[in-house]
Amino acid sequence: MTREDAAALLCHFLVFFNVADRSWAISQNLIVGGRDYDGNDLTCPISYALLDAYFEMNLPQPILSVKLHKNTPDKMYRELGRFFFSPGVLTPSLFNDDSLFPILEAKGVDREDLESYSVAGCQEPLIRGKDNANTTNSWLNLPKILELTLSGGVSTITGKKLCDFEKIPANELLPRLREKFYENVESAVVSMANAANGASRALSNLRVPFLSCFMSGLDYGYDTRDTEHQGTKYNGSGCLIHGLSVVADSLIAVDHLLRERPEDADRLINALANNFEGDDELRKYLLSCPKFGNNIPEVDAEAAEIANRVSDLINNTKNYLGNTFRADWSSPTTHLTYGYWVGAMPSGRPARDMMNYGVDPLYGSADSGLGMRMLSNMALPFSKMCGGYASHLGIDPKYFPAEELADKGMQFKERVIEPLFFNPSAEGIQPFYLYVNVTTPETLRKLLKDPKKYAPSGVYIVRIHGTFVNFLDLSPDVQEDIIRRLDPSSTANIGGNE
């Protein structure tokens, strides 16, 4: 069959995944490309036919992902150029097989299963047909734990006592803030695991025999959801962890305050309780302290330490079958909803503001260029993020000056993918997931102002976490979040030496 005929059939195939008006109800994920255990490329003619079908249909579902590795042919990058640099067209998620293989193997995945890893919905890696996919079983809000640590268990949003965290005077608490924070994280994780395992047991009352037949049920004789017997070869519960850079920025800000203005310890606690009302000077000082995403060693090391310790804690916590939870540093728009219930932070972030997205810096805090942001990113322990993570780049298309879309795809490989995924100077496991929106805030604001002019079909696809959606269908809050996180200053040097 020709590539053209195969693509035409696949267009019909894609239609069956789309549900309801907004077409994002099922979060299925189709993947092309990749490698086998020995590093041989698995890209084949059907990979390119499927790309043709996606580009033709431009539907919000199913999600398209591409597995990359050091031997991915340039043809794949050239084919991807049309997706990244055509306004309003979907852009695929990108996975780094060279990093994910050792991560999954260290987690117990057999060698022969590695090339069959798939993705649950957004970015959570699992083995196709052999994993129960309990990937978003639990959620953890680190900035809320920090808030309650500073307030003695009282929510600064509602004034209610939420937990029995110890109330300690500011001059005693702040020098011991890390110690108390991690103690409270451990306590919160115990409660989280109990709740998550209870939810899994409740869900197990709704058996899924048909699905189980495709998920090792015929081999094991148990339902995929069985909480007493393992009905799939691989089984683990995911925990989505929120607020990495907000906590890192906050702990570093407290360090600077204690060194430079120790007399303001009580003032800080009062300012946080009152959302900085009447104390703009202190907030400006806190905002001026070092922030993650600017290649500043002390704050990057802090973020890495948080990610290491919390990942270890989650990855050693047991689910209902005695298997470990999986640390997943992602936030599918929940950085907005969770942030709404988090009070003011020592980083200078005000109450009810969003938290940082995934492992990225908080919007607006990385202003030293994309190169510096990526160097901060590379300091994180990706080897421990076995449940996945989220990272987004908002990229201005003007920094890819090639005339042809295929040539822009090669520039994208050289300027973004190779330095991030396959950097020869980087040590250890390198990043393994990324998605991008190649556009500008001005473009999206023009679209919102005159959608009939800039999107006459009524569809303008953008990325939001692991899925792509029609930007015009999103709520105003989510639209604004996407625009703000495009963060043009973080791409200021994408065409330079960085």
Residue 342: Cβ-neighbour burial (10 angstroms; 0-12, 13-18, 19+): buried
CA–CA separation, 295 and 111 (whole Å): 36
Maximum Cα–Cα distance across the chain: 76
Three-class SS of 467-485: EEEEHHHCCHHHHHHHHHH
> Cis peptide before 62, with omega less than 30 degrees from 0?
yes
Nearest partner of 61 among 107, 90, 18, judged by Cα: 18
Helix (H) or strand (E) holding 201: helix 177-203
CA–CA separation, 206 and 185 (whole Å): 32
Each residue's pLDDT expressed in tens, for the chain with a length of 498 residues = 999 999 999 999 998 877 666 555 456 789 999 999 999 999 999 999 999 999 999 887 888 999 999 999 999 999 999 999 999 898 999 999 999 999 999 999 999 999 999 988 788 999 988 998 788 889 999 999 999 999 999 999 999 999 999 899 999 999 999 999 999 999 999 999 999 999 999 999 999 999 999 988 889 899 999 999 999 999 989 999 999 999 999 999 999 999 999 999 999 999 999 999 999 999 999 999 999 999 999 999 999 999 999 999 999 999 999 999 999 999 888 888 999 999 999 999 999 999 999 999 998 888 888 888 888 999 999 999 999 999 988 888 988 999 999 999 999 999 999 999 998 888 889 999 999 989 988 999 999 999 999 999 888 888 887 777 888 888 898 888 888 878 655 445 444 433
Which residue is it, tokens 């300027």?
415
CA angle 432/200/359 to nearest 5° reads 25
Beta bridge partners of 158: none
State the DSSP string of 394-441: EE-GGG---SSHHHHHHHHIIIIIHHHHS-TT--SSPP-EEEEEE--H
Question: At 135, is the secondary structure helix, strand, or coil?
Answer: strand
pLDDT at 218: 87
Residue 89 tokens read as 């067209």
Residue 267 tokens read as 């003032």
CA–CA separation, 352 and 344 (whole Å): 7
Residue 392 tokens read as 């987004």
Residue 262 tokens read as 């120790």
Q: Which sign does the torsion angle of CA 471, 472, 474, 477 carry? A: positive
pLDDT at 495: 41
Residue 44: Cβ-neighbour burial (10 angstroms; 0-12, 13-18, 19+): exposed
φ/ψ (deg, to 5) at 472: -75, -15
Residue 155: Cβ-neighbour burial (10 angstroms; 0-12, 13-18, 19+): middle
Q: What is the pTM of this model?
A: 0.93
pLDDT at 497: 36
CA–CA separation, 420 and 19 (whole Å): 35
CA–CA separation, 383 and 247 (whole Å): 21
Beta bridge partners of 469: 462
CA–CA separation, 334 and 103 (whole Å): 26
φ/ψ (deg, to 5) at 39: 95, 5
The full length of the chain comes to: 498
CA–CA separation, 84 and 64 (whole Å): 13
Residue 283 tokens read as 């907030």
Cβ contact 291:299 at 8 Å: yes
